[in-house]
Structure 1
């Protein structure tokens, strides 16, 4: 179970890192032209960049607290925050009729819920 939780957290961290870097460094106009990025047309540059920063923080929060042994409870807290972020992503993609991305966001949501549940109940970090 511990290994599955580490893999799940690592995959989510990779997704968050990729999304965060993209939202911070790719111009909004280019994001809007990418498949699944149409939602950025309705969002301010500041909002998109803020989401990118939150995703970078999520990437760090899913891995670093456990690896460093500093406040490892932040791993499930970060996973819960990721669940909330994915709910927002689902709503956003629903508004833009992007079913493919809704399904993907629901998968990420389920993985994050698994990490949160796993690290709060059966396999919490000790130390």
Structure 2
């Protein structure tokens, strides 16, 4: 059986993006759950329930983007967490556009593109030594 070499640059790039997004989401979730009054956005004061829900989702996204691959326990869950992040960012973009805050979606678009990279990379390109990757 031939051993395939994984491209190191791709793996390093995926890990870098995963860690950065994970830190971003864990920080955002922590802020939304524990200090929502200190958040600078107007929508957080108008929708306290949405802040609480999005804080939980952000924490789960932050954990899901790194822990499964890091612990090698069902690493495909990282790709699924990235798909969830994509859905979350589409929802955030739609939310801001409907509120007339289209000028504030740049960060959401950046996160969306990063999550697409993780979903593609961990799902198809570099699936962390899965014997039968689901996205062939």
Instruction: Identify whether the pair has TM-score above 0.5, normalized to the shorter chain.
Output: yes
Structure 1: any 5+ residue segments left out of the alignment?
none
Q: Which residue is 1:120 aligned to? A: 123
Mapping 1:50-61, distance limit 5 Å: 50-61=53-64
| Aligned match of 2:25 | 16
CA contact (8 A) 1:16 1:59 kept: yes
Decide which of 84, 88, 93 is 1:90's aligned counterpart. 93
Question: 1:93, 1:46 → 2: CA distance?
Answer: 17
Tell me the C-alpha RMSD between the 2 structures: 1.5
Whether the aligned pair in 2 keeps the contact of 1:17 and 1:59 (CA below 8 Å) is: yes
The higher radius of gyration belongs to 2
> How much has 1:98 moved relative to structure 2?
2.9
How many residue pairs get aligned? The number is 121
Q: Does 2:42 align with 1:38? A: yes
Which structure features the higher share of helix residues? Answer: 1
Q: Which consecutive residues of structure 2, in runs of 5 or more, have no partner in the other structure?
A: 1-9, 131-136
Higher relative contact order (CA 8 A, sep 6+): 1
TM-score (norm 2): 0.82
Q: Hey, what does 1:110 align to over in structure 2?
A: 113
1:74 corresponds to = 77
1:45-98, Cα deviation, whole Å (9 max, x unpaired): 232112101111111111111111111111000001001000111112213333
> Which secondary structure state, in structure 2, belongs to the residue aligned with residue 121 of structure 1?
helix
Match of 1:3 among 6, 12, 18: 12
